[in-house]
């Protein structure tokens, strides 16, 4: 971090600021130019309050030269993190597929979809019991009953389950859930992230609709700072000016996230595009870009789905996508 000082600062104030910075365990390097003086800070600057330094009367500006996240940062953890859920791995050269309906609707529905996606090669079963809907009049999910049905399906097909937590008030219902999803709309629900930091469950953290990669990694940092290092990052499309797809899939986020962080990365082409026929080409592209997993919505009867039917694949279409995914994974030397 570099602090640019205002012209001709009082020596006394410089000494006061320097002492406060040294108290934070930092080493200071001074550089005196013709008209500008700089202080370079060396050490862990992740806990520094930049606003407070900027508010100091002798400070002109503050520039970060290193990332504000530490636990999620590849620089401090060069080897890839592998999330292992009962032997189903995300990372370490595996290409895992998480598939299932947008929302759990009935026992028949979730079990039929679970069997179909398993037969096609999916490793994880997804399904929402609590749904974040734009309209309060839209189907909100089956709540506790939905979790029970997911657990029944899990028993039936022996696949780990992934489902979204929308409020900490519901956390008790998630005790047998394998992976807790934090949806795009809750990516910056900091109280929720902090609490999940104390959980021992893997967290699938979705990128917010309009959040930068740094903000995304700072949200992962919230969870990791509490001691939970099992975080899976999920890019699910961001809001742009382009209306032909539901969102814009930021595929460049995959190599960038993998460059900046050691956490595994999942691509969700279903929510990114909202279009079932785009799932295949973008799944292949995601694997090429280095994604560790895919999350795909599948419904046994998309036309009657209570949520996101228009973007859901039928089990047959999913099987076709999986054939392409398997071929692409093989080409990229990934184990599927
Ligand atoms: C979902 O996975 O069903 C979902 C609501 O996703 P997102 O938070 O990415 O919109
Ligand atoms: Mn959905």
Q: What is the pLDDT of residues 256-277, one digit of tens each?
A: 999 999 999 999 999 999 999 9
According to the model, what pLDDT value does residue 88 have?
Answer: 95
260 lines ligand 1 (CB under 6 A): no
pLDDT at 35 over 90: no
> Which of 141, 181, 179, 142 lies closest to 161 in space, CA to CA?
179
Where do the structural domains in the chain lie, given as residue ranges? 2-63, 83-331
Atom of ligand 1 nearest to the CA of 131: 5
Which residues, including other chains, have CB under 8 Å from residue 233's CB and lie 6 or more apart?
A: 205, 207, 216, 217, 220, 257, 261, 263, 264, 265, 266
Nearest-ligand number for the alpha carbon of 130: 1
Q: Which CATH superfamily is domain 83-331 in?
A: Aldolase class I (3.20.20.70)
> In which band, very low, low, confident or very high, does the pLDDT at 34 lie, cut at 50, 70 and 90?
confident
184 lines ligand 1 (CB under 6 A): yes
Share of the chain above pLDDT 70, in %: 100
How close is the Cα of 64 to the center of ligand 1, in Å? 33
Atom of ligand 1 nearest to the CA of 186: 8
How close is the Cα of 164 to the center of ligand 1, in Å? 8
Nearest residue by C-alpha to atom 6 in ligand 1: 183
- The tokens for 45 are 């600057």
Pocket test for ligand 1, best of 98, 127, 129, 132 (most atoms within 8 A of CB): 132
Model pTM?
Answer: 0.94
According to the model, what pLDDT value does residue 46 have?
Answer: 84
Q: Which residue do the tokens 């595009």 mark?
A: 273
How close is the Cα of 125 to the center of ligand 1, in Å? 14
> Which of 74, 100, 244 lies closest to 179 in space, CA to CA?
100
Average pLDDT estimate for 306-327: 98
How close is the Cα of 270 to the center of ligand 1, in Å? 9
Q: How many residues does the chain have?
A: 336
- The tokens for 131 are 């749904």
Which residues, including other chains, have CB under 8 Å from residue 258's CB and lie 6 or more apart?
A: 265, 290
How close is the Cα of 250 to the center of ligand 2, in Å? 18
Nearest residue by C-alpha to atom 3 in ligand 1: 102
Q: Where are the alpha helices (DSSP H) in the chain?
A: 11-23, 50-54, 107-120, 144-157, 190-196, 213-225, 253-260, 269-273, 279-289, 315-331
Q: Which CATH superfamily is domain 2-63 in?
A: Phospho-2-dehydro-3-deoxyheptonate aldolase; domain 1 (3.30.70.1140)
- The tokens for 177 are 């859930």
Q: Given the DSSP bridges, would you call strands 124-126 and 231-235 parallel, antiparallel or unpaired? A: unpaired
β-partners of residue 292 are none
Atom of ligand 1 nearest to the CA of 295: 2
- In the structure, ligand 2 is a single-atom ion and the residues with CB under 5 Å from it are 102, 308
CA dihedral over 290, 292, 294, 295, signed as positive or negative: negative
Label residue 86 exposed, middle or buried (CB < 10 Å: 0-12, 13-18, 19+). exposed
Give pLDDT tens digits for 147-189.
999 999 999 999 999 999 999 999 999 999 999 999 999 999 9
Task: Specify whether the CB–CB gap between 184 and 208 falls below 8 A.
Answer: yes
Nearest-ligand number for the alpha carbon of 184: 1
Any idea what the Cα angle at residue 43 is, between residues 205 and 2, rounded to 5°?
90
- The tokens for 184 are 């795009």
Nearest residue by C-alpha to atom 10 in ligand 1: 184
Nearest residue by C-alpha to atom 1 in ligand 1: 102
According to the model, what pLDDT value does residue 47 have?
Answer: 84
How close is the Cα of 18 to the center of ligand 1, in Å? 47
- The tokens for 156 are 């039936």
Nearest-ligand number for the alpha carbon of 183: 1
């Amino acid at each position: 971090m570099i602090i640019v000082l205002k012209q001709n600062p009082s020596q006394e104030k410089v000494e006061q600021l320097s002492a406060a910075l040294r108290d934070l365990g930092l080493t200071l390097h001074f550089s005196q130019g013709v008209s500008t003086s700089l202080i370079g800070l060396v050490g862990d600057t992740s806990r520094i309050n930049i606003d407070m330094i900027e508010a100091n009367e002798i400070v002109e500006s503050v520039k970060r030269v290193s990332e504000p996240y530490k636990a999620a940062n590849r620089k401090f953890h060069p080897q890839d993190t592998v999330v292992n859920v009962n032997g189903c791995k995300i990372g370490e050269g595996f290409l895992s597929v998480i598939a299932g309906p947008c929302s759990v609707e009935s026992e028949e529905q979730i079990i039929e979809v679970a069997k179909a996606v398993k037969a096609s090669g999916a490793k994880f079963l997804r399904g929402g019991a609590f749904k974040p809907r734009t309209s309060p009049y839209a189907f909100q999910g089956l709540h506790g009953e939905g979790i029970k049905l997911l657990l029944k399906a899990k028993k039936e097909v022996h696949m780990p389950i992934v489902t979204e937590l929308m409020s900490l008030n519901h956390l008790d219902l998630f005790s047998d859930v394998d992976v807790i999803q934090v949806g795009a709309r809750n990516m910056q629900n900091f109280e929720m992230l902090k609490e999940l930091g104390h959980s021992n469950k893997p967290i699938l953290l979705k990128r917010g609709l309009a959040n930068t990669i740094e903000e995304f990694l700072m949200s992962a940092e919230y969870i990791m700072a509490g001691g939970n290092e099992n975080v899976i990052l999920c890019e699910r499309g961001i809001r742009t000016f382009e209306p032909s797809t539901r969102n814009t899939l930021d595929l460049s986020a995959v190599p960038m996230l993998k460059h900046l962080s050691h956490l595994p990365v999942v691509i969700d082409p279903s929510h990114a595009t909202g279009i079932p026929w785009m799932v295949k080409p973008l799944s292949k592209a995601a694997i090429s870009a280095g994604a560790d997993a895919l999350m795909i919505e599948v419904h046994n009867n998309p036309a009657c789905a209570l949520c996101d039917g228009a973007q859901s694949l039928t089990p047959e279409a999913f099987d076709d996508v999986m054939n392409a995914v398997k071929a692409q994974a093989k080409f990229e030397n990934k184990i599927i």
